[in-house]
Chain A
Amino acid sequence: MDLRIKIGGTVFKNPVWSASGTFGSGREFTEFIDVSEAGAIVAKTVTLEAREGNPPQRIVETPSGMLNSIGLENKGVEFFKQENYPFLKSVKTRVVISVAGFSAEDFAECAERASEKNFPDAIEVNLSCPNVKHGLTRGRLIAQDAGATRRTVARVRKKTGCLVIAKLTPNVTDIAEIARAAEDGGADAVSLVNTYLGMAVDAYKMKPVLGNIVGGLSGPAIKPMALRAVWEVYKAVKVPVIGMGGIMSGTDAAEFMLCGARAVQVGTANLADPAAHNRILREFREYLDENKIKKASDLTGRLQV
């Protein structure tokens, strides 16, 4: 069984990666699993300057999912490098660093600082975190605006030699349009979906549950919507698509690949169970075995329509 997949010339040992914000720097999970089994570790988003994050309450469970409004709390890219690069460089799998910013220049500078010689394997451009204010686009998020997406990706492209993955938001009318814009900007791949905007209300206190009022919905509840988004984007662009949204099992991962994903990311499942990632990878192998699929990469786009 050959689990390897290739994105822009880089080979990843398997298509099951961790999702940003749910896996820390990977180090936190080493107590529970061998994190090097992941096809790639996608780290928590960093920004140029430290960010405090949003006021509590930052998370709440909802039916088959959860809302989060963490607010990109992080100690800044330089601190992250000092604290986590030695570990990430030593771990025996691919590493993707996620960056965010408030303007195209911000994103590009953060990506530049995050990039070193031969490390990381990719930069994921978090154009789509819903929990942060942006002043400079027509929509609230850069990834809600095709022009801003294209410009930001192009700037990042100029400032890093790593693979550039553009992470998209589903909170748009036409995600395929945004995906094409990212592709035009020079992205090596697109990853989707980030969380869906949502709210929770305490009917007795008559107040919003989240300190930031609005948050992002993730987990099994969003899988049907995420699958459709992956399917639409796969048909619209030539670059590889990395799919995510409620993956809890190996079969879920296979569903995303059938819809066109070359790789997938596991997120919320890690919060329910620190050993989830490796269980899902094992189940994915079992799926390939049961369906007599010799190469994982053969699964991409194989949906019979």
Chain B
Amino acid sequence: MARINKTKIISNRRVAPDHFLVELDAPYLARHAEPGQFVNVKVRSGEGGPLLRLPLGIHNIKKNRVSFLYKTVGTKTKLLSAKAKGETLDVLGPLGNSFDTSRAKSGAGRKALLVAGGHGVAPLFALARKLRLEKKEVELFLGACDARHLLCVKEFKQLGIKARVATECGRAGARGYVTRVLSEYLAGNAEKAENFMIYACGPKPMLAAVSAEAEKYGLSAEVSLDAYMACGIGVCLGCAVRTVHGYKLVCKDGPVFDAREIDWKSER
């Protein structure tokens, strides 16, 4: 059940060009949040500040603490990046649904394939930790525009997960999109494909491509979507996404969806 949490900032530091990691003292969130869920953060700076909250996916859950990995893309994220240790942060959550880790099996040859584009890697880290705790095998496919934007590689390594990397410039890992690395992996492991479960987060075109790959091999895939949000609690109907069953809400029916549910052809 969601709550308005008055949390305290433990740290808020830059981890890559235009990427920050904020850690909060937030016992309720730490106790109740599941990988895949998100929160809606108030970054208002008094009168005349932003009106609506900022949705952020849960990146890591520790005892009494949760953290968020975010990119400074606009006004709200930039305001958040300026907040200091010790400041309070009004955080609404946990919101939305979570990744279904029971869809990833353990046992010989079985793997969860995590596919991340840019800062889409953020919620997949929390997922990876949970999967590892459940003794499941995890492969990570990580794409970014360049090497400096490859996030969390070390942290995944500490979980025993080596990242298969792609950068658009080719300076690190394969050159091009991460979906190509995934595609080659699946092609090379086609006979084992039924043992795989895909979880993906990143730009919508990437998710559409991942969905197509999954379709090709008859694999299941869960995707975490992004949408412009206002309330975050399923009231305003603002964050609609086109699915094969009509419009659904990213904040309430998602943000995690089965890839087959989404109408990838619709423009928005």
Where the two chains meet, the residues of A that have a C-beta atom closer than 8 Å to any C-beta of B are 21-24, 28-29, 31-32, 44, 52-53, 55-61, 64-66, 68, 70, 73, 211, 219-220, 268, 270-275
Q: Is the CB of A52 within 8 A of B238?
A: no
B42 lies within 8 A of chain A by Cβ: yes
**Assuming A24-B235, A70-B237, is B4 touching A274 (CB within 8 A)?**
yes
CB distance from B32 to the nearest CB of A (A): 12
Partner of A66, one of B52, B92, B240, B247: B52
B180 lies within 8 A of chain A by Cβ: no
| Chain B 10-56 interface residues, beta-carbon cutoff 8 Å to A | 42, 44, 48, 50-53
B233 lies within 8 A of chain A by Cβ: yes
B1 lies within 8 A of chain A by Cβ: yes
Is chain B's interface secondary structure helix, strand, loop, or mixed overall? loop
Bound Cα distance A223, B234 (Å): 26
Q: Is the CB of A22 within 8 A of B236?
A: yes
Bound Cα distance A273, B53 (Å): 8
CB distance from A68 to the nearest CB of B (A): 7
B174 lies within 8 A of chain A by Cβ: no
**A-B pairs, 4 with minimum CB distance:** A59-B238, A24-B235, A271-B230, A56-B268
Contacts of A59 on B, CB cut-off 8 Å?
Answer: 228-230, 236, 238-239
**Assuming A23-B235, A56-B227, A66-B230, is B4 touching A275 (CB within 8 A)?**
yes
Partner of B240, one of A31, A32, A61, A73: A73
Contacts of B237 on A, CB cut-off 8 Å?
Answer: 44, 53, 58, 70, 73
Q: Is the CB of A271 within 8 A of B231?
A: yes
Which of chain B's residues has its CB closest to A61's CB? B52
B201 lies within 8 A of chain A by Cβ: no
Q: Is the CB of A32 within 8 A of B246?
A: no
Bound Cα distance A272, B52 (Å): 5
Count of chain A to chain B residue pairs whose CB atoms are closer than 8 Å in the complex: 92
Which of chain A's residues has its CB closest to B227's CB? A56
Contacts of A55 on B, CB cut-off 8 Å?
Answer: 242, 266-268
Bound Cα distance A270, B3 (Å): 14
CB distance from B237 to the nearest CB of A (A): 5
Q: Is the CB of A57 within 8 A of B234?
A: no
Bound Cα distance A58, B240 (Å): 7
CB distance from B211 to the nearest CB of A (A): 18
Contacts of B241 on A, CB cut-off 8 Å?
Answer: 56
Contacts of A271 on B, CB cut-off 8 Å?
Answer: 52, 230-231, 235-236
Bound Cα distance A273, B234 (Å): 13
Q: Is the CB of A53 within 8 A of B52?
A: no
| Chain B 208-248 interface residues, beta-carbon cutoff 8 Å to A | 227-231, 233-242, 246-247
CB distance from A1 to the nearest CB of B (A): 27
Bound Cα distance A23, B51 (Å): 17
Q: Is the CB of B228 within 8 A of A268?
A: no
Q: Is the CB of B51 within 8 A of A219?
A: yes
Bound Cα distance A64, B75 (Å): 13
Partner of B51, one of A29, A56, A272, A275: A272
Q: Is the CB of A273 within 8 A of B42?
A: yes
A-B contact sample (19 more), CB < 8 A, given A53-B247, A59-B230: A22-B236, A31-B1, A32-B3, A32-B4, A52-B247, A56-B242, A57-B228, A57-B268, A58-B237, A59-B236, A64-B48, A270-B235, A271-B52, A271-B236, A272-B44, A274-B4, A274-B231, A274-B233, A275-B4
**Assuming A55-B268, A270-B231, A271-B230, is B238 touching A68 (CB within 8 A)?**
yes
Which of chain B's residues has its CB closest to A211's CB? B268
